[in-house]
Amino acid sequence: MSIKNHLNQRLSAAMIAAGIPKDCQPILALSARPKFGDYQANGAMAAAKRLGVNPRALAQQIVDQVDLDGIAERIEIAGPGFINLHLSRTFIGEQLGRSLDPETCERTASNVVIDYSSPNLAKEMHVGHIRSTIIGDCLARVLEYRGDHVIRQNHMGDWGTQFGMLIAELELHLGAGERGDLALNDLEKFYQQAKRHFDEDPDFADRARAYVVRLQSGDEHCLALWQQFIATSVAHNLEIYRRLNVGLSAEHVQPESTYNNQLEAIVSKLTECGLAVDDQGAKVIFLDDLADKKGQPSAMIIRKSDGGFLYATTDLAALEYRAQTLAADRILYFIDARQALHMKQVFSAGRKAGLVAADVDLEHHAFGTMMGRDGKPFKTRDGGTVKLAGLIDEAEERAARLIREKNPNLDDRQIADIARKLGIGAVKYADLSKTRTTDYIFDWEAMLSFEGNTAPYLQYAYTRICSIFRRADVDRTAHSAPVIIGTDAEKSLALQLLQFDEIIEQVATECYPHVLCTYLYDLASAYMSFYECCPILKSNVSPEDRASRLQLSALSATTLARGLDLLGIEVMQQM
């Protein structure tokens, strides 16, 4: 149990004993300044306001009642009624010993479906896909770590009008005697060729449109071309995932087309229950709960007047599949904020139609639009997009150059391995460390930076610890010793280590990975400060201090590695 929970229990009990209503919280937080102790409880002031009594007097009553023997060595009331808690150093040391036991982590066991990455297969993956892919993957790891059963769903876009154009292009290449896999080697170029043919050649455009219809009606020739195209594109995406160390593989691919044969049934079901109605030839769902101020309901078309289905239909079918077949307790969508209204509509309609039970959590975790350095929507100089494959190449090259410069003793194989972990880590951390919901600036320099609050800083802290254990000739994973909290640096580090579980809990419920990034950065900083002022292997250090400091180092390494792993970032023994 975390220290915060510990204190929460004791203070809650004291508040009840002092006659304060049960729903008043202690409101515990880390103290703003060292002179205010380690933790502070701000609940007395809020409770006093409600009860109409003097806040300082109420704080005193709580302090009179609270039992923190062996936990806090000093309790003070300050200002209008802050309760400042100075923790016992012995207690901190004991708690650290307990945190070695993995069984202390509270487990959950929900069925959680996570929809993330979900790129369109018509084009190559570009930087616009990175947030969903990386953030979704982080949450999958975090939820799995705390015990949930995670079902990854890569809802790839493999269906729609643009595929008529693409298979017409592919047919053109094959007709010229070209090999399909070679023609599709550069998906981006291929798409642009198809687009140009479509725009400039009326015959091609007609053929493309006809192919869409033939594809939808199950024409074998078109399906074969389509499957060849899809297979190549999926393979490209899986390669990107592998290079990014993202836990998505072929088994998680559940593309739009898999719902094709359920769309008819979905529309029937929604019509029969009276939710979907005919309007101007189309099937439309009007949602009163999403109406504007004037009472105009929000409209969602699930079937066009020409009989065609839309992505709303597919999303409803996917929602039913996830809730019913996959038996989800919680369904998370990591999708661009621009689709916020669409997601609300799907959730609302899905619940009203009974596709998903009321006790299933539906959560759209949005993120902002990617902007250029000028604050406008991002484009490269020639108006294109930055491909993920290129970004990964660049990250690895930059990392390799830096390693060669900093550490000339490494051989080429070591450099390649470290460069991969370092470069990819920098790219992922740059994204994960920013609050998910806001628009974000795409900045090569910041993303590939190796200084300051970056993944390499955290990886560096880890390698420093590894280096100490190599020098001491001690097995880090086997080392075990009591922790003695002497200096302030040791205390800060210890308190930081003890917050890991509550941070994981917070990330699991709120789905904000940047909270974990901030925590790990603070942990690494605390370790760096500790490292500067607390010698470990020097001759003037007592055996007890040496063992204790090695213990703190081992715990720091374990926590850093675990936290980085949950972010999808790897560590290395040296760099």
Q: Which of residues 425-444 bind RNA (CB under 7 A)?
A: 433-435, 437-441, 443
Q: Does 571 bind RNA (CB under 7 A)?
A: no
Sign of the Cα torsion 284, 287, 291, 296 reads: positive
Task: Using the minimum distance from each CB to RNA, give the nearer residue, 25 or 65.
Answer: 25
Q: Which residues pair with 85 in a beta bridge?
A: 39, 75
Q: Does 277 bind RNA (CB under 7 A)?
A: no
Q: Which stretch binds RNA (CB under 7 A): 95-103, 167-175, 303-311, 477-485?
A: 303-311
How many Cβ atoms from other residues are within 10 Å of residue 289's Cβ? 11
Q: Is 207 exposed, middle or buried (0-12, 13-18, 19+ CB in 10 A)?
A: buried
Q: Which stretch binds RNA (CB under 7 A): 109-117, 142-150, 167-175, 337-345?
A: 337-345
Q: Does 32 bind RNA (CB under 7 A)?
A: yes
Contact 146, 175 (CB under 8 A): no
Contact 187, 236 (CB under 8 A): yes
Q: Which stretch binds RNA (CB under 7 A): 87-95, 123-131, 334-342, 556-564?
A: 334-342
Question: Which member of 279, 288, 361, 393 binds RNA (CB under 7 A)?
Answer: 279
Q: Does 205 bind RNA (CB under 7 A)?
A: no
Applying CB under 7 A, the site for RNA has a residue count of 106
Question: Which member of 215, 531, 560, 567 binds RNA (CB under 7 A)?
Answer: 531
On the CB side of 41, CA atoms within 13 Å amount to: 33
Question: Which member of 102, 177, 251, 280 binds RNA (CB under 7 A)?
Answer: 280
Q: Does 55 bind RNA (CB under 7 A)?
A: yes
Nearest approach in angstroms of CB 133 to RNA is 16
CA proximity to 191, closest of 155, 156, 162 = 162
SS (H, E, C) 18-80: CCCCCCCCCCEEECCCHHHCCEEECHHHHHHHHHCCCHHHHHHHHHHHCCCCCCEEEEEEECC
Question: Which member of 263, 460, 491, 507 binds RNA (CB under 7 A)?
Answer: 460
Task: Using the minimum distance from each CB to RNA, give the nearer residue, 177 or 375.
Answer: 375
Q: Which of residues 386-425 bind RNA (CB under 7 A)?
A: 399, 402-403, 406-407, 418, 422
Q: Which of residues 216-245 bind RNA (CB under 7 A)?
A: none
Task: Using the minimum distance from each CB to RNA, give the nearer residue, 80 or 390.
Answer: 80
Q: Which stretch binds RNA (CB under 7 A): 10-18, 182-190, 240-248, 365-373?
A: 365-373
Write the single-letter amino acid at 182: L
Question: Which member of 369, 389, 481, 487 binds RNA (CB under 7 A)?
Answer: 369
Rg (CA), the chain: 28
Task: Using the minimum distance from each CB to RNA, give the nearer residue, 7 or 331.
Answer: 7
Contact 418, 396 (CB under 8 A): no
Q: Does 475 bind RNA (CB under 7 A)?
A: no
CA proximity to 433, closest of 415, 409, 456, 405 = 456
Q: Which of residues 71-100 bind RNA (CB under 7 A)?
A: 78-82, 84
Residue 118 φ/ψ region, left for φ over 0, alpha for ψ in the -120 to 50 degree band, beta for the rest: left
Q: Does 9 bind RNA (CB under 7 A)?
A: no
Q: Which of residues 482-521 bind RNA (CB under 7 A)?
A: 512, 514-515, 518, 521
Q: Which long-range contacts (CB under 8 A, 24 or more apart) does 52-55 make?
A: 55/80, 55/81
Q: Does 31 bind RNA (CB under 7 A)?
A: yes
Helix or strand or coil: residue 371? strand
Q: Which of residues 137-166 bind RNA (CB under 7 A)?
A: 157, 159-161
Question: Which member of 224, 265, 277, 299 binds RNA (CB under 7 A)?
Answer: 299
Write the single-letter amino acid at 395: A
Q: Does 575 bind RNA (CB under 7 A)?
A: yes
How many Cβ atoms from other residues are within 10 Å of residue 477's Cβ? 10
